[in-house]
Amino acid sequence: MGRMNDLTNTPKSAPKGERPARQRKPDWIRVRAPVSKGYNETRKLMRDLNLNTVCEEAACPNIGECWTKKHATVMILGDVCTRACAFCNVKTGMPKAVDPMEAENTAIAAAKMGLKHIVITSVDRDDLPDGGASQFVKVIEALRRNTPGTTIEILTPDFRGKMRAAVEAICEAGPDVYNHNLETVPRLYPMIRPGARYYASLRLLEEVKAHNPLIFTKSGVMLGLGEQRLEVHQVMDDMRCAEVDFITMGQYLQPTPKHAKVEEFVPPKGFDAYGSIARAKGFLQVASSPLTRSSYHAGDDFAVMKAAREEKLRVENQRRRDRLDV
């Protein structure tokens, strides 16, 4: 799942009996408390429809802003994950049975929120024979039936051991954007994403394009986990080799003292520099800022990415015509 993490960034070692002092976050990380009419309405809608969101489960710092605008990322397949990644706040354990109403309720939520673009993600479900792929398909189909004008972005797990069949089924259902996050550089995988393999995740992204090159692909990394600049550049190159269209880069925040600690707060200028490099490497769309998360401003970014692809095709066609004229 595409992980996001929160603001409760607390160091591990506090004297016995004392509340651990909060690690001071730089000013550029601070966000407003989530209090607004729109926030409360989004919250109630999710509760009424028995839907989980990654916004809440991962304690996303942008929840105040997004929910006020009625943008929420629905997390399907329950709220318990079968993996235990070192950066992720979602509960780990043995998940419950899949809610049979989840697909229809997701579509109802999209209609009620009037979403032009929806992002659907899930927990990892290594316990299910298809890893949960058929539930993604059901949700996409329910959205197409109920809100045909809504563009659909999915952010899936790696479907370890069953990736090919899962990706094929999901691509056949026809999402507009397929996101799968690499999360970090390969060197840090054993510590940060021990249940996953970097090259398996890259292969998943390649597989989506092999199956349907028209589906936009998207992937993201968290910065501040101890990665080196050149390692991030290498991840960008790997993504471009897999023809990933859109890269997201955001600051990792430690959800609880039990999670991996923040090694560095990358300043906004650092994110700008990474963003410029990514643009130079040919991504159609780049989002790089401390508070960037996979689904942050996803609808607006989708529109920009679509326009960028159309412009790229127009230029390529023009060049082809020019060559024929010579």
The contact set with ligand SF4 (CB under 6 A) reads 4, 54-55, 60, 62-63, 66, 71-73, 293, 295-296
Q: In what order do the strands lie in the sheet containing 285-288?
A: 52-53, 74-76, 117-122, 151-155, 177-179, 216-223, 246-251, 285-288
Beta bridge partners of 288: 249
Residue 72 or 103 with smaller CB distance to ligand SF4? 72
Count the helix, strand and coil residues of the chain and give each as a percent rounded to the nearest 5: 40, 15, 45
Contact 113, 146 (CB under 8 A): no
Residue 9 or 207 with smaller CB distance to ligand SF4? 9
Terminal Cα-to-Cα distance of the chain (whole angstroms): 50
- Please report how close the Cβ of residue 55 comes to ligand SF4 at its closest, in angstroms: 3
- Please report how close the Cβ of residue 316 comes to ligand SF4 at its closest, in angstroms: 33
Residue 4 or 85 with smaller CB distance to ligand SF4? 4
- Please report how close the Cβ of residue 58 comes to ligand SF4 at its closest, in angstroms: 6
Element (H, E) at 115: none
Element (H, E) at 42: helix 37-48
The beta strand positions in 7-148, using DSSP E, are 52-53, 74-76, 80-81, 91-92, 117-122
Residue 242 or 262 with smaller CB distance to ligand SF4? 262
Residue 43 or 240 with smaller CB distance to ligand SF4? 43
